[in-house]
Amino acid sequence: MLTAGTFKRGLHKGVSTTWELTKVVIPVYLVVTFLKYTPVLGWITGACAPVMRLFGLSGEAAVPLVLGNLLNLYAAVGAITTLDLSSREITILAIMLLISHNLLVESAVSGRTGVNALVMAFFRLGLAFLCGLVLNLVL
Amino acid sequence: MQWEAFAREAVHGGLHNVLIMAGIIIPVMVILQIGRELNVLDRITVFVAPVLRLFGLSRQATFPLLVGVIFGIAYGAGVIIEAARSGEISWRDLFLVNLFLSACHAVIEDTALFIAIGADPWIILGGRFLLAVVLTYLVSRMGWLAARAPHAGAKPPG
């Protein structure tokens, strides 16, 4: 049954998700923007460039990749919007992150369903890297 | 260090991005809620069950799979753990469901988030779906999985 309550509950979920998003995106955005004004982002970019090049990504793309896998997609999205990436790079990053993210939490959840959590985490990371490689070749 | 430029970029950029994402997330959550309360999933389950027989998945496994694909792993796992505890779903089916979901889950909310920041919708949605179908099909045909089949039912959680 659809009632006004449905829309209210949907709106409520939307607003609370947006709030969760804001709490993560804003601090990440602040920190990454700050790093951009210091030499630190340049160091990270230089160190990660050789690996990121395999996926057709610039070195600084390592920042959202690490944030997304350790924390969650909101943090990754916050970092991506701070950086100056092409739409091709964003699409490749998006696929990699959508497959593999929030590994600490989600692997634990998979583990509770009876599948080995560590295997699941490494499998998702491997799958994400593989997709990054393939997309870099076909896009 | 150009503090003023930093402050302007951080405040303006951060707020701007949150507003764009809110414009996508809020309508998406309303639509998901409508789907949930109209029991759209039950109807889709009937519709896609024959397709999922391709993987040799039982009818009972279809519902947890759909919940995970549409709403995400955390929400889907609640349903999967519940189903595993009741012993309705074999270890093989649970494994295939987890495998499919690892490549493709929360297709509405997470995809919307990345479309909002400029990713290609067809590639990030179609690509993941195709990957999940091919992967699950291949693994469902593997011998070692069948060999583990007698180990029915998942380990009790925790």
How much is the pLDDT for A92? 96
* Inter-chain CB proximity B18 and A135 less than 8 Å: no
Chain A residue numbers touching B14 (CB-CB < 8 A): 25-26, 29-30, 33, 78
| Residue type present at position B54 | L
> Cα–Cα distance between B36 and A73 in angstroms, integer?
23
* Inter-chain CB proximity B34 and A10 less than 8 Å: yes
* Inter-chain CB proximity B98 and A22 less than 8 Å: no
* Inter-chain CB proximity A87 and B118 less than 8 Å: yes
> Cα–Cα distance between A13 and B30 in angstroms, integer?
8
> Cα–Cα distance between B75 and B68 in angstroms, integer?
7
Question: Touching check for B18 and chain A: CB below 8 Å?
Answer: yes
CA closest to A73 among chain B residues: B110
The pLDDT tens digits for A76-119 are: 999 999 998 999 999 999 999 999 998 887 787 777 777 788 98
Chain B residue numbers touching A78 (CB-CB < 8 A): 14, 17
How much is the pLDDT for B74? 66
- Considering the entire predicted model, what is its pTM? 0.82
Q: What are phi and psi of B90, to 5 degrees?
A: -75, 160
The pLDDT tens digits for A21-63 are: 788 888 888 888 888 888 888 888 889 999 999 999 999 999 9
Any idea which residue has 């999922």 for tokens? B52
Chain B residue numbers touching A37 (CB-CB < 8 A): 1-2, 5-6
How much is the pLDDT for B109? 87
Helix (H) / strand (E) containing A138: helix A117-138
Confidence check on the interface: ipTM exceeds 0.90, yes or no: no
Chain B residue numbers touching A127 (CB-CB < 8 A): 102-103, 131, 135
How much is the pLDDT for B150? 46
Q: 10-residue block means of pLDDT along chain B (158 residues)? A: 84 85 85 86 82 85 86 72 77 87 88 91 93 92 71 42
* Inter-chain CB proximity A115 and B6 less than 8 Å: no
How much is the pLDDT for B149? 53
How much is the pLDDT for A110? 74
